[in-house]
Amino acid sequence: QVQLVESGGGVVQPGRSLRLSCAASGFTFSNYGMHWVRQAPGKGLEWVAGLWFDGSKKYYADSVKGRFTISRDNFKNTLYVQMNSLRAEDTAVYYCARDQSGVVRNFDHWGQGTLVIVSS
Amino acid sequence: QSVLTQPPSVSAAPGQKVTISCSGSSSNIGNNYVSWYQQLPGTAPKLLIFDNNERPSGIPDRFSGSKSGTSATLGITGLQTGDEADYYCATWDSSLSVRWVFGGGTRLTVL
């Protein structure tokens, strides 16, 4: 069955960097678009970034553009997000999610999430 | 302020029916598929409805979706206490900054 397992979360100071990973299994990873979606404590869902099955096209929310970089390694079946210049408002649970088709269809499978806390 | 507008909360008794609305614009709902997600307390979201009105395998037919113009609706019949959750609508927005947008979420309480 489809499994997505995020890792790399933790406590980080404002202005520092962090890289999250999402290990995928149970499906042909290289055939699917992937996304990062986050949820601040007690708040709703916010899409962060997405990329095509081959990584050729990437899309970002305005709130993270220029600071976050989404990438993937189709040989390692792993999705990444490099988060730089972190701010307190980036504190959230970060979920990786598979797109049913391309990057504009839906989020048909989700990981369990990894918590990022940006605090001094 | 979310791009898609949902009521913050809805409630109904067990066995009853409830609808949750999601209002957008021509750049999002009006020209793209809508999907709905259920988030039970303390868990990751789960796809409930895709392509406006399709259910993934394993989702009971008590859950339904519809879309008209720039609005979408999630319907749940035969409410159960286990349906208590947050529900989110989402779609692709092809305005100035192409991106995914979510509704603010609706908390369903089964009284």
Q: How near does any CA of chain B get to the CA of A83, in Å?
A: 18
Query: Would you call A100 helix, strand, or coil by DSSP?
Result: coil
Structure tokens at A42: 């007690």
**Partner residue opposite B45 with nearest CB, options A45, A50, A104:** A45
Would you list the DSSP string of B25-72? -TTTGGGS-EEEEEE-TTS--EEEEBTTTB--TT--TTEEEEEETTEE
At residue B98, the pLDDT reads 67
- What string of pLDDT tens digits covers the 111 residues of chain B? 788 999 999 999 999 999 999 999 999 999 999 999 999 999 999 999 999 999 999 999 999 999 999 999 999 999 999 999 999 999 999 887 768 999 999 999 998
**A5 — pLDDT class (breaks 50, 70, 90):** very high
Q: What does the pLDDT average to over A41-46?
A: 96
Higher pLDDT, A60 or A105: A60
The whole-angstrom distance between B64's CA and the closest CA on chain A is 16
